[in-house]
Amino acid sequence: MPERITLQQLDDHYDLIVIGGGITGAGIFREAARRGVRVLLVEAADFASGTSSASSKLVHGGLRYLKNGDWRLTLESVRERQRLLREAAGLVEPLPFLMPIHRDRRPGRWLMQIGLRIYDAMAGARRSFWLSAQQAVAREPVLRAGTLRGAMLYEDASTDDARLVLRLLLAGIADGGVAVNYVSAEPVSDSERVRGVRLRDDERGAVREIAARLVINATGAWADRLANAPPGAPTLRPLRGSHLVFASRSLPLAHAVTWLHPHDGRPIFAHPWEGAVVYGTTDLDHDDELSSPRITAAEIDYLMVGLKAQFPDLSLRAGDALSSYAGVRPVVAGGHDDPSRESRESAMWAAPGLIGITGGKLTTFRVTANQVLQTAAAELPQLLQGRGDGPLFETGMAPDRLGGRYGAAATEIRAMPAVLQTTLADTPYRLAELIWSLRHEAIVHLDDLLLRRTRIGLVAANGGVDLLPLLAEPACVALGWSETRWRQECERYRALWQQRHAPPAS
């Protein structure tokens, strides 16, 4: 990604303008750019700073959707999971799940076994097996309990959600697309149709109108609030989901473990991620503003009751968490009392010159992008030409952590001096990665680097503030920051982390 682009550097006209730099917008951008369309993506804050950095990090079929009768969504998701495992190896990785079955609790073994057989059939391969209590405990000692009958072993996948967005954007840019962060957009129309967007860069005090043949509203939970958008968006029911992140020494897990919450029977799970363990989640109406959701005291209590039910011997307290995070699901209101029964399908609508898309899942972003572009082809026939449904990223990359996260740039990162290659604190991140990111990934604020380009803010103790002295020089050199700017960025980061990510007791 080149340096941050100013509004003046943009062209007067694009074929397609995508508003929203989450997974939905990034997926559309990537697929449009590879088809040779002149595409601009505009994100009001940082790329992936909305829901797409606050998911459960699973690339999954969604057993829960199967239970709700959403067969099509499950099948589509299972197929996409398999494809992402192949095409984004190192970034989307297999995640073995254990579902402990206890004598005195739901779910029962047979019901789960039937569900998982259907799941396997959808993926075209058997990946679920019954383990005896002894086998389950041999794999995951923290499951030891007198009531344990055994466990179902099955496979899904996990990812770094924000990094997946970034890679899609980088792939789209490599194919000629332009993506800008910290610029908000609203559609501009005449009496007939949407003709383009009005862009506002508040930090640099710039405003500019840009014309487009077609505008796409991919603003997720904001989709029905986009200023000046023609009517047509479905009513959204923003549903908050929150997570706690524990150090793996506090919650030592080699597999993902899933079980039902004792209060409401909702599936909850804990899984190893970026050297730590993510545990969640909740599913509640979110009545607050959308930009800075945070976990509430009631959600912390709910999650801790669930954790104690499965791992009573660990005596974990909420204050033992490294961090917390919350995100808002862009769910279309379907009128169910129970939020968890609302469908997770995406919804698309159109007005002259504009297509809107919202809802859906991280896992199925490619399917969503292709559906949008099929509709867009009525206005932009060149979308039917060019390189269509090819592999997601450039091929030939090492299918390891760095290759998956940085694509071809992994070679550059590996070639940096050895002293930059040791991992920072208890995290999987090398200083070399951070330096490359600072130079090439449109970083505007320190939190872009610590919360989204890397996830140090979630998985390091105290949000990684102990690492700040190490980052001062590389950041100032790469971004041209003065000492004063560096101090301001550190203050901004500390305040933001305290407000949105500090563990409950602090």
Ligand X SMILES: Cc1cc2nc3c(=O)[nH]c(=O)nc-3n(C[C@H](O)[C@H](O)[C@H](O)COP(=O)(O)OP(=O)(O)OC[C@H]3O[C@@H](n4cnc5c(N)ncnc54)[C@H](O)[C@@H]3O)c2cc1C
Distance of closest approach, residue 274 Cβ to ligand X, in angstroms: 14
How many Å apart are CA 79 and CA 364, to the nearest integer?
9
Q: Which is nearer to ligand X, 359 or 474 (CB)?
A: 359
**Phi and psi at residue 381, to the nearest 5°:** -60, -20
- What is the signed CA dihedral for 319, 324, 263, 152, rounded to 10 degrees? -100
Q: Which is nearer to ligand X, 49 or 128 (CB)?
A: 49
Q: Which is nearer to ligand X, 185 or 456 (CB)?
A: 185
Amino acid making up residue 84: L
Q: Which is nearer to ligand X, 202 or 473 (CB)?
A: 202
Distance of closest approach, residue 131 Cβ to ligand X, in angstroms: 24
How many Å apart are CA 440 and CA 2, to the nearest integer?
6
How many Å apart are CA 279 and CA 470, to the nearest integer?
30
Distance of closest approach, residue 420 Cβ to ligand X, in angstroms: 31
How many Å apart are CA 115 and CA 152, to the nearest integer?
11
How many Å apart are CA 504 and CA 484, to the nearest integer?
31
7's CB contacts (< 8 A; 6+ apart) are 183, 199, 201, 204, 206, 207, 208
DSSP structural state of residue 345: -
SS3 365: helix
Amino acid making up residue 426: D
Q: Which is nearer to ligand X, 149 or 208 (CB)?
A: 208
Distance of closest approach, residue 41 Cβ to ligand X, in angstroms: 9
Which residues of this protein are in contact with ligand X, per CB under 6 A? Answer: 19-25, 42-45, 49-52, 54-58, 60, 184-186, 218-222, 226, 241, 281, 327-330, 360-363
Distance of closest approach, residue 468 Cβ to ligand X, in angstroms: 25
Distance of closest approach, residue 6 Cβ to ligand X, in angstroms: 16
Distance of closest approach, residue 447 Cβ to ligand X, in angstroms: 14
Q: Which is nearer to ligand X, 365 or 406 (CB)?
A: 365
Q: What is the helix (H) or strand (E) element at residue 490, kind and residue range?
A: helix 483-500
Distance of closest approach, residue 286 Cβ to ligand X, in angstroms: 9
> Read out DSSP for 221-246?
GGGGG-TTPPS-PPPEEEEEEEEEEE
Distance of closest approach, residue 229 Cβ to ligand X, in angstroms: 9
SS3 71: helix
- Closest to 401 (Cα-Cα) out of 47, 97, 173, 159: 159
Which spans in 124-232 are helix H? 133-139, 161-174
Q: Which is nearer to ligand X, 240 or 401 (CB)?
A: 240
Q: Which is nearer to ligand X, 220 or 407 (CB)?
A: 220
Q: Which is nearer to ligand X, 330 or 503 (CB)?
A: 330
495's CB contacts (< 8 A; 6+ apart) are none
